[in-house]
């Protein structure tokens, strides 16, 4: 999935103010899948989301799509070091269920995101978070792109993901 140079520039123009923020850069410190950082994963999801929207002519709001994709995992902690499973009563406190809420709170705090962007972040783990169903096309696109990137990153590690989404795989890659 390759974006043209023009498309990459358009995507970066949308995300530049977010990408340079110190808290977004902090995502480089946390591993998401395999050896892929949370920052690189979010960039991958943004790239795939933008590609899907353009190539499938889905007519999504590109600003909300890109911002929601970049911030969908903006939870700012190492999920590998959080509590392990402690029974069914604590199930919904586990990372997979709880991190969309944490990411949304952080995004609202640092960037004052729109309702649509909140929906994208809150629902990106659907159907795992069954109470947060995507309610706009942008949220559906990010949800699908996130699943795709997670599978590729987990199964094939960084080298394949970089080829797949058109980045070179390093955390300091350009858009």
* pLDDT, tens digit, 9 for 90 and up, residues 162-175: 444 444 344 445 66
Q: How far apart are CA 88 and CA 149, in angstroms?
A: 28
| pLDDT single digits (tens) 41-93 | 999 999 999 999 999 999 999 999 999 999 999 987 665 565 554 555 554 45
Domain containing 119 equals 5-79+90-165
Q: Is residue 171 part of a domain?
A: no
CA angle 117, 123, 126 (to 5 degrees): 155
- The residue assigned the tokens 């947060």 is 132
β-bridge pairing 31-33 and 36-37? antiparallel
49 and 76 Cβ atoms separated by less than 8 Å: no
Count the domains in the chain: 1
The answer to the question of residue 96 being in a domain is: yes
Residue 40 domain-assigned (yes or no): yes
Provide the CATH number for the domain around residue 45: 1.10.3210
Say whether pTM exceeds 0.85: no
What is the tens place of the pLDDT at every residue in 92-147? 455 555 688 789 999 999 998 999 999 999 998 877 666 777 889 999 999 999 99
Residue with tokens 């809150």: 122
Q: Which tokens go with 73?
A: 């995992």
> What are all long-range contacts of 78-84, with beta carbons under 8 Å and residues at least 24 apart?
78/29, 78/30, 78/31, 79/30, 80/31
Which sign does the torsion angle of CA 8, 162, 23, 69 carry? Answer: positive
The answer to the question of residue 174 being in a domain is: no
Say if 172 falls within a structural domain: no
Answer yes or no: is 101 within a domain. Answer: yes
Residue 84 falls within a domain, yes or no?
no
Q: Which sign does the torsion angle of CA 108, 105, 43, 172 carry?
A: positive
Residue 85 domain-assigned (yes or no)? no
Query: Do residues 74 and 107 make contact, with C-beta atoms less than 8 angstroms apart?
Result: yes
């Amino acid at each position: 999935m390759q974006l043209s140079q023009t498309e990459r520039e358009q995507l970066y123009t949308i995300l530049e103010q977010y990408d340079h923020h110190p808290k977004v850069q902090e995502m480089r410190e946390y591993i998401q899948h395999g050896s892929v950082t949370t920052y690189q994963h979010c960039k991958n999801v943004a790239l795939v989301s933008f590609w899907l929207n353009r190539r499938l002519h889905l007519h999504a709001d590109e600003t909300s799509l890109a911002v929601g994709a970049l911030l969908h995992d903006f939870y700012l902690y190492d999920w590998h070091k959080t509590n392990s499973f402690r029974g069914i009563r604590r199930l919904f406190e586990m990372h997979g269920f709880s991190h969309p809420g944490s990411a949304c709170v952080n995004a609202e705090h640092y960037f004052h995101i729109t309702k649509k962007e909140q929906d994208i972040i809150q629902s990106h783990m659907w159907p795992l978070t069954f109470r947060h169903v995507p309610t706009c096309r942008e949220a559906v696109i990010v949800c699908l792109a996130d699943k795709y990137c997670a599978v590729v990153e987990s199964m094939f590690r960084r080298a394949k993901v970089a080829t797949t989404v058109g980045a070179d795989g390093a955390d300091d890659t350009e858009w």
